């Protein structure tokens, strides 16, 4: 039988090889037959490529933060993460377990660790700046592993990494105090560990894959969907080895090496997950459900994929597109994979069609997350970030399929297309990120405007700007959605000078029959509300006296 490990076809890399010869990059092959010094320069370039990509991705993010002055805090969730990190840090210093929280602890735990070297708010943002840049590098490294030894491998790998580095949503998630970029880094690191183990059979890579996947799940529960994907890829890798004539190994025979590897993968996965499990159990023993808030409100149903009128815990929504269409847009949108690069995805998938392990790892990652997302009742543009690196990897593999067959003249055209396409993607990403920041800095300005209108210590009943007002003003802030009609009237009666700040159009359209609207109407009908001023889309009211 032909030794597939010596084939130049991509299918030669379906099975692991013993540690490995240095691959000849496309640049090296172009320079083959010329002076050794020049070949060495090509090798050095291949080694320096991930460092250059890291520095570029960091530079884009750091300059963006510096120019905009954005501190990463917006909406409600980012403030909640920051507050929980502060509570966790205080609890760890004093001895008791950290308090309950809606989300898992992975991201705030990293913020607490980094806060040993920087202020907590700075740490919350910098964790994601670094995570976004490192995710681009890991995307490059995974693509290079899949293309090892192929002509054009360096170009395809750099393209995949650069796409992650410049994408608009990745840039946004890299500068906010949220868990998305950190979790994505962890799961991408896990994928890299799995692929390196598949090639080298070095157990350290398997341990890394297990631990990183556990930390990804500890940061965002959605990555638990990849547990069966990684398991199927592990089985496929063993199957590939068996088909190539190696001694057959039975998974559940206690002395088999496969059984030991499964134990290692599982042990390190549980090691990373164990602090979260312990904390959930600790609060459950006291009758408190903690860290699994999303599981209580998901209401997954595949029928949601073709629906656009939906109701969830955040109110009533009338979306412009069905949920399934919305979560397919990243395949053609400049915030993820621009339309001009979309054909590369199909080429990449075709190139992997016979590679069971790689196809399961990359295709399964995309498929598992996408199928989950199309069944939920939210349309959130940051959610598809969970399957963005494998899309970029497919694009890099698809580009390789073109580059390795391109004659010199066409290669120049391809290079121009890539350069221009990535520059446009970067410009689009910076523009979208700029609009995002401008929108949320406007919320900050609204909070400042309210503070200037009201006496210090006044009570403000609000919705949407609760966390912003709490952090950036001296006002007493009450969240209207957490009150009842009786309690909100008590606040109005006993709170001294009381004001209401609401986006009334949103309250009436998104929250009919829910606490925000019910409580707003209770205040309006019982006390009367007088308009103090308007800063779109918010209106500031003063609360009258009860009749």
Closest CA to 233 of 191, 277, 266, 203: 191
Q: Provide the pLDDT for residue 469.
A: 93
DSSP string of 192-221?
A: HHHHHHHHH--HHHHHHHHHHHHHHHHH-G
Q: Provide the pLDDT for residue 547.
A: 53
Q: Which residue has the higher pLDDT, 448 or 16?
A: 448
Pairing of strands 459-462, 476-479: parallel
Task: Specify whether the backbone of 542 is left (phi greater than 0), alpha (psi in -120 to 50) or beta.
Answer: beta
Q: How far apart are CA 326 and CA 379, in angstroms?
A: 7
Peptide bond just before 102 cis, omega within 30 deg: no
Confidence of residue 206 (pLDDT cuts 50, 70, 90): very high
| Residue 444, pLDDT above cutoff 70 | yes
Q: What burial letters (b/e) apply to 139-150, b meaning 16+ CB within 10 Å?
A: bbbbbbbbbbbb
The pair phi, psi for residue 528, each rounded to 5°, is: 85, 140
The pair phi, psi for residue 313, each rounded to 5°, is: -65, -15
DSSP string of 321-360?
A: S-HHHHTTGGGT-TTSS-GGGHHHHHHHHHHTTT-HHHHH
Q: Provide the pLDDT for residue 256.
A: 61
Q: What is the mean pLDDT of residues 238-252?
A: 50
Helix (H), strand (E) at residue 542: strand 538-543
pLDDT in tens, 353-398: 989 999 999 999 999 999 999 999 999 999 999 999 999 999 999 9
pLDDT in tens, 272-321: 999 999 999 999 999 998 888 777 678 899 999 999 999 888 888 899 99
- Tell how many helices (H) and how many strands (E) occur in the chain: 21, 7
Q: Which region among 35-49, 99-113, 203-217 has the lowest average model confidence (pLDDT)? A: 35-49
The pair phi, psi for residue 314, each rounded to 5°, is: -95, 5
Rg (CA), the chain: 26
Q: How far apart are CA 431 and CA 172, in angstroms?
A: 10
pTM for the structure as a whole: 0.88
| Residue 196, pLDDT above cutoff 50 | yes
What 8-state DSSP symbol labels residue 512? T
Query: How distant, in Å, are the alpha carbons of 222, 322, 336, 386 from that of 383?
Result: 10, 15, 12, 6
Q: Which residue has the higher pLDDT, 58 or 24?
A: 58
Q: Which residue has the higher pLDDT, 241 or 435?
A: 435
The pair phi, psi for residue 72, each rounded to 5°, is: 90, -5
Q: Provide the pLDDT for residue 248.
A: 46
pLDDT in tens, 54-82: 999 999 999 999 999 999 999 899 999 99
Contact 279, 291 (CB under 8 A): yes
Contact 159, 142 (CB under 8 A): no
Mean pLDDT for the chain overall: 87
Confidence of residue 23 (pLDDT cuts 50, 70, 90): very low
The pair phi, psi for residue 96, each rounded to 5°, is: -70, 165
- Overall residue count recorded for the chain in this entry: 547
Q: What burial letters (b/e) apply to 40-71, b meaning 16+ CB within 10 Å?
A: eebbeebeebbeebbebbbebbeebbeeeebb
The separation between CA 190 and the C-alpha centre of its own chain, rounded to angstroms, equals: 14
Q: Which residue has the higher pLDDT, 370 or 402?
A: 370
What 8-state DSSP symbol labels residue 405? T
Q: Provide the pLDDT for residue 44.
A: 75
| Residue 24, pLDDT above cutoff 50 | no
Residues 433, 56, 441: CA angle, nearest 5 degrees: 20
Q: Provide the pLDDT for residue 396.
A: 96
What 8-state DSSP symbol labels residue 97? P
């Amino acid at each position: 039988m032909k030794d597939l490990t010596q084939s130049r076809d991509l299918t030669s890399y379906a099975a692991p090889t013993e540690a490995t010869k240095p691959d000849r990059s496309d640049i090296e092959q172009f320079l083959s037959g010329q002076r050794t010094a020049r070949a060495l320069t090509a090798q050095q370039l291949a080694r320096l490529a991930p460092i250059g990509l890291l520095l570029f991705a960091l530079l884009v993010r750091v300059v963006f933060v510096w120019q905009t002055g954005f501190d990463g805090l917006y909406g409600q969730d980012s403030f909640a993460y920051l507050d929980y990190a502060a509570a966790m840090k205080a609890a760890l210093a004093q001895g008791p377990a950290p308090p309950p929280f809606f989300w898992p602890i992975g991201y705030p735990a990293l913020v607490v660790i980094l806060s040993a070297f920087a202020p907590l708010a700075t740490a919350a943002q910098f964790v994601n700046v670094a995570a976004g840049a490192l995710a681009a590098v890991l995307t490059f490294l995974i693509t290079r592993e899949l293309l090892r030894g192929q002509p054009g491998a360096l170009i395809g790998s750099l393209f995949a990494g650069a796409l992650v580095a410049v994408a608009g949503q990745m840039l946004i998630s890299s500068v906010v105090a949220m868990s998305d970029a950190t979790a994505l880094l962890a799961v991408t690191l896990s994928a890299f560990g799995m692929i390196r183990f598949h090639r080298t059979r070095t157990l350290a890579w398997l341990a890394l894959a297990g631990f990183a996947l556990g930390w990804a799940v500890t940061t965002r529960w959605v990555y638990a969907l990849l547990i069966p994907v990684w398991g199927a890829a592990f089985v496929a890798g063993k199957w590939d080895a068996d088909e190539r004539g190696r001694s057959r190994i039975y998974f559940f025979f206690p002395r088999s090496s496969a059984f030991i590897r499964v134990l290692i993968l599982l042990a390190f996965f549980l090691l990373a997950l164990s602090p979260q499990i312990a904390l959930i159990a600790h609060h459950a023993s006291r009758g408190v459900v903690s860290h699994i808030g999303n599981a209580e409100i998901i209401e997954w149903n595949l029928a949601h994929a073709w629906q656009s009128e939906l109701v969830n815990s955040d109110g009533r929504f009338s979306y412009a597109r069905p949920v399934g269409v919305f979560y397919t847009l990243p395949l053609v949108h400049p915030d993820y994979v621009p339309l001009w690069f979309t054909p590369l995805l199909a080429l990449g998938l075709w190139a992997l069609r016979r590679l069971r392990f790689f196809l399961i790892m990359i295709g399964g990652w995309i498929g598992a997350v996408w199928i989950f997302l199309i069944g939920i009742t939210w349309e959130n543009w940051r959610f598809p970030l969970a399957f963005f690196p494998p899309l970029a990897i497919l694009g890099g593999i698809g580009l390789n399929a073109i580059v390795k067959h391109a004659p010199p003249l066409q290669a120049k055209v391809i290079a121009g297309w890539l350069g221009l396409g990535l520059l446009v993607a970067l410009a689009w990403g910076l523009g979208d990120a700029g609009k995002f920041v401008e929108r949320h800095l406007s919320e900050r300005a609204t909070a400042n405007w309210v503070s200037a209108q009201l006496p210090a210590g006044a009570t403000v009943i609000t919705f949407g700007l609760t966390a912003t007002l709490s952090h950036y003003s001296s006002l007493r802030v009450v969240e209207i959605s957490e009150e009842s009609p009786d309690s909100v009237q008590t606040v109005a009666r006993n709170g001294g000078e009381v004001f209401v700040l609401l986006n009334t159009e949103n309250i009436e359209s998104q929250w009919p029959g829910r606490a925000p609207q019910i409580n707003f109407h209770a205040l309006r009908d019982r006390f009367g509300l007088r308009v103090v001023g308007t800063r779109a889309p918010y209106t500031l009211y003063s609360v009258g006296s009860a009749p």
